[in-house]
Amino acid sequence: MTAPGGFIPIAGKTVSRLGLGTMRIAGPRSWSDLRSGRVDPMAVLVEAVRTHGITHIDTADAYGPHTVEALVHDALAPYLDTPELLIATKVGMIRPAPHLWMSHGHPAYLRAAVEGSLRRLGVEQLDLCYLHRNDPTVPFLDQVGTLAAMQSEGKIAHIGLSKVGPGEIDEALTAAPIAAVQNKLNHELQGDLGTVEHCRTLSIPYIAYSPLGAGVLTQDGGAGRALEWLLGLGPHVAAIPGTTSSTHLRELVASSRGWAL
């Protein structure tokens, strides 16, 4: 079986290097109750998995907020037991208003957030749970340690970090194994290449979000060039572009074939 962009091991599974981010599914500013207009986003999710072989789906409890995880469940319920399908989510951010994203890493909140994600995704264990942001008001190891405790309880299979640098990765590794790091990276925004290299030396998969610069890099057929540059940084790098359009999804898949590492 082929996969868009080839394959990469993440969180104990071998998945497509071209994944699918779901933040945009909730609409502008990722803020929507999704009570209407659910058909198209659900169709894109199903097409990604069933038709194109995308087996890496990325979401978060803050998307919506608290709605996109449920949508992922509704769309992909028939595939949740598929061994190669990885559904990653993130906890540790709150949304007080459509334009606000705030870190919230208090251990009690993180515990409640994990329980909420389990319920919305309809699973007994999260495949991969990222700390969405390091809350500067809470000791970092307390945040990672909370996820590690829930991992030992069987509620999280693997732990990831988002928006972190090499120092935070090294600190987190003193508390728990880290299965993936997810940061913003694209051809026009190359400031995180040091973290890419640090992850390579540690054999940690690096997951690039916003790999196409929110669509800016797709102009004039640039999606293929942007993805090729990104995945060319090393076999430990994967990309999770987002889309709500089946047409755009097909373009992304087409642009990633033929040059997989």
Q: Write out pLDDT tens, residues 54-112.
A: 999 999 999 999 999 999 999 999 998 889 999 999 999 999 999 899 999 999 999 99
Domain assignment of residue 40, yes or no: yes
pLDDT band at 147 (very low <50, low <70, confident <90, very high): very high
Catalytic positions are 63
Q: What is the CATH number of the domain that holds 85?
A: 3.20.20.100
Closest CA to 116 of 62, 46, 181, 56: 62
Domain assignment of residue 145, yes or no: yes
> H/E element holding 167?
helix 166-172
pLDDT band at 251 (very low <50, low <70, confident <90, very high): confident
- Are β-strands 180-184 and 159-162 bridged in parallel, bridged antiparallel, or unpaired? parallel
How far is Cα 260 from Cα 238, in angstroms, rounded to an integer? 11
Show the domain range for 232: 7-256
How far is Cα 69 from Cα 62, in angstroms, rounded to an integer? 9
- E-strand ranges in the chain read 7-10, 13-16, 20-21, 56-58, 86-91, 93-94, 102-103, 128-131, 159-162, 180-184, 206-209, 237-239
Q: Say what the pLDDT of residue 135 is.
A: 98
Domain assignment of residue 19, yes or no: yes
Domain assignment of residue 251, yes or no: yes
Please give the tally of structural domains in the chain.
1
Domain assignment of residue 1, yes or no: no
Domain assignment of residue 125, yes or no: yes
Averaged confidence pLDDT in the chain: 91
SS3 state at 149? helix
Domain assignment of residue 106, yes or no: yes
> H/E element holding 194?
helix 193-202
Q: Which residues contact 92 (CB under 8 A, 6 or more apart)?
A: 103, 104, 105, 109, 110, 113, 130, 131, 132, 133, 135, 143
Domain assignment of residue 153, yes or no: yes
Q: Are 21 and 211 in contact (CB under 8 A)?
A: no
pLDDT band at 146 (very low <50, low <70, confident <90, very high): very high
Structure tokens, 68: 């996109």
